[in-house]
Structure 1
Amino acid sequence: MSTISLKNVSFAYDGQDKIFDNLNLNLDSNWKLGLIGRNGRGKTTFMKMLLKQVEYQGTIQSDLEFNYYPQVINNPDNLTIYALQEQFNFEEWELKRELNLLHAKENIIWQPFSTLSGGEQTKILLALCFINQHSFALLDEPTNHLDEDTRNQVAQYLHNKKQGLIVISHDRNFVDKVVDHTLAIEMQKIRLEQGNYTRYEKQKELEDESNIAYNAKLERQIKNLHASQQKMQTFAQRSESNKNAGAKMKGDIRHRSTVYD
């Protein structure tokens, strides 16, 4: 078992607000993590930091080999097996092993990569990520170009894998079938939760409801405080008016007494 440790990590693109600010996080290499958040919040940037593809402040420590999906194939018109072996170090039998687990036909490796369907290309590139069984996969939208049946095959494949991974996907059902932990990017921070996307969403909904109730209670308390202050101010003004009226009355009495004397 290994870990991914982030300490005081901050990142911002030139001239822009920080995407991450003093991020501290410890991730287990056996976890399957779903990385979620609104578009533009930094999901892909987070993966790029792990891959050392962008400069950041702080430290990220890990002895893992990160494999990123989707990989770019330099010579897609070449036969798939040759195109892959030009860029990646693996044995043919290792690729076929993963393709079998993905329910893909082995003979697709003898076709030009560019002629494969979107689903076949996805399976080829995913297989590459898991050939090294000690690696850690970073999967950015692996469900693109997949029909429902193929998505289910890929989800089952990833769920059965022993090594850990981080996956970004807009397909909530797909994420739920794969992950056992959720990383949610919320306002320059990453929140780590045990469980899948649905569990995180339910927990977040409960917390939001609690926060709404707390804020409503706080607003009522503030209104009551303002009302009490207003009453006290009105009471003080009346007391001062009565005091001034009493003093004036006494002055008038003394004045009349002097005149009559």
Structure 2
Amino acid sequence: MSMIKVEDLTFSYPASYDRIFDSVSFQIDTNWKLGFVGRNGRGKTTFLQLLMGNYPYQGTIVSSVPFDYFPYPVADQTQWTQDVLQSVCPQAQSWELLRELSCLDVDSEVLFRPFATLSKGEQTKVLLAALFLKEGHFLLIDEPTNHLDTQARDLVSAYLRRKQGFILVSHDRHFLDGCVDHILSLNRANITVQNGTFSTWLENFNRQQTFEQAQKERLQKDIARLRKAARQTSVWSDRIEEKKYGAGPVDRGYIGHKAQKMMKRAKTIEARQQQAIQAKSGLLQNWEPLESLKLSPLPCWGDRPLAVFSQVKVQYCGRDVCGPVSFALHPGERVVLDGKNGSGKS
């Protein structure tokens, strides 16, 4: 077992005043299947690039294992897939590669086709297979589901469940639940590492937010009550002060003592009020407000279709990918384009 340690990590992009990471510290085990979650723009891909050493940063990142990044860039996609995978993992034996491809339900015939003729989903599968054959490496997987259909997502999730030693970025909750055993979460105010699936993490996160919301409401009531008490104390103090300098003989010593007690009480109320305000400010720092999605309708087209496809056939390198397709798309319609990986959707 070895650890990846991040200590006092601070990073911001050049010419930007906003820090993506500010004195961040945590550590993860290289045997974990780690799900990496957080809102868009929070810095997930940036952190993976920092692990790869692609950006300068402050602080330290210590790791005993080398990192590989997915999606893996293929410079020459006209090469046969077999040659591409051999360049990714030169030490892998042919039988090992065939074993991995069978686990991902990829036909071995793809090895003898140009890499460019593979669908995006097939490219995802074969590259993941090759990268996991690089023994002793820790894999950084950034959004692998972009080109996977439902069946392929389940296959890849099951495949990753049998592996270890990776960080997986994905917005697909079902996909994450199927293959991770820890969650690294980039929150608004901090970074947390938790044992379990995404659903476990989300349940704990929501429970914490519900608790903090109740605490906030209680503190708001306390603050309102203390402010009211402070106003009453101020009024009473003013009245006592008026008596001290009123007409006729008065016991100024007694009145001064009473005014001093009122002043002490006022300071106690003020201190309690400031403590409540400070405690309230520490709550709900990781709450993620959701903005409503606004869609603007297209200008009125009447009955005219927006697009018409008539006997459209797709080919790659002289090979038919999908047969003749004919359909029309009209305003207001919502169309799903469905099909297995490699059937020609892209």
TM-score, with normalisation over the residues of structure 2?
A: 0.68
Give the letter for the 2:29 counterpart.
D
1:188 offset after TM fit, Å? 6.1
Structure scoring higher RCO (CA < 8 A, sep ≥ 6) equals 1
Q: Which residue of 1 aligns with 2:122?
A: 120
Gaps of 5+ in 1: 250-261
Q: Provide the C-alpha distance between the structure 2 equivalents of 1:231 and 1:4, rounded to a whole number of angstroms.
A: 58
SS of the residue corresponding to residue 42 of structure 2 reads coil
Q: Which residue of 1 aligns with 2:15?
A: 15
Moved more, 118-127 or 129-138: 129-138
Q: Is residue 75 of structure 1 aligned with residue 59 of structure 2?
A: no
SS of the residue corresponding to residue 146 of structure 2 reads coil
Q: Provide the C-alpha distance between the structure 2 equivalents of 1:65 and 1:188, rounded to a whole number of angstroms.
A: 29
Q: Which residue of 2 aligns with 1:147?
A: 149
Q: Which residue of 1 aligns with 2:194?
A: 193
Q: Provide the C-alpha distance between the structure 2 equivalents of 1:197 and 1:238, rounded to a whole number of angstroms.
A: 61
1:246 offset after TM fit, Å? 4.0
Moved more, 195-204 or 234-243: 234-243
Q: Which residue of 2 aligns with 1:90?
A: 91
Q: Which residue of 2 aligns with 1:2?
A: 2
Provide Cα deviations, 1:31-83, integer angstroms capped at 9, x if missing partner.
11110001111000111111111111111111212121111111111211123
Q: Which residue of 2 aligns with 1:256?
A: none
1:87 offset after TM fit, Å? 5.0
Q: Which has the larger radius of gyration?
A: 1
Give the letter for the 2:3 counterpart.
T
Q: Which residue of 1 aligns with 2:49?
A: 48
1:27 offset after TM fit, Å? 0.7
Give the letter for the 1:106 counterpart.
S
Give the letter for the 2:196 counterpart.
G
Q: Provide the C-alpha distance between the structure 2 equivalents of 1:60 and 1:81, rounded to a whole number of angstroms.
A: 35
Q: Provide the C-alpha distance between the structure 1 equivalents of 2:42 and 2:248, rounded to a whole number of angstroms.
A: 68
Q: CA RMSD in A?
A: 1.8
Q: Provide the C-alpha distance between the structure 2 equivalents of 1:88 and 1:215, rounded to a whole number of angstroms.
A: 54
1:209 offset after TM fit, Å? 1.2
1:184-223 counterparts in 2 under 5 A? 184-187=185-188, 189-223=190-224
Provide Cα deviations, 1:127-161, integer angstroms capped at 9, x if missing partner.
12201232211100011111111100000000011
1:163-182 counterparts in 2 under 5 A? 163-182=164-183
1:99 offset after TM fit, Å? 0.8
1:237 offset after TM fit, Å? 2.3
SS of the residue corresponding to residue 41 of structure 1 reads coil
Gaps of 5+ in 2: 251-346
SS of the residue corresponding to residue 178 of structure 1 reads coil
1:25 offset after TM fit, Å? 1.1
1:22 offset after TM fit, Å? 1.1
Q: Provide the C-alpha distance between the structure 2 equivalents of 1:225 and 1:188, rounded to a whole number of angstroms.
A: 29
CA contact (8 A) 2:80 2:115 kept: yes
Structure 1 residues 238 and 41, CA, compared in 2 at 3 Å: closer, same or farther? same
Q: Which residue of 2 aligns with 1:258?
A: none
Q: Provide the C-alpha distance between the structure 2 equivalents of 1:107 and 1:114, rounded to a whole number of angstroms.
A: 14
CA contact (8 A) 1:137 1:166 kept: yes
Q: Provide the C-alpha distance between the structure 2 equivalents of 1:124 and 1:50, rounded to a whole number of angstroms.
A: 24
CA contact (8 A) 1:172 1:197 kept: yes
1:8 offset after TM fit, Å? 1.2
SS of the residue corresponding to residue 25 of structure 1 reads strand
Q: Is residue 64 of structure 1 aligned with residue 51 of structure 2?
A: no
The percent of aligned pairs where both chains have the same amino acid is: 39
TM-score, with normalisation over the residues of structure 1?
A: 0.89
1:242 offset after TM fit, Å? 4.1
Q: Provide the C-alpha distance between the structure 2 equivalents of 1:90 and 1:247, rounded to a whole number of angstroms.
A: 105
Q: Provide the C-alpha distance between the structure 1 equivalents of 2:63 and 2:239, rounded to a whole number of angstroms.
A: 72
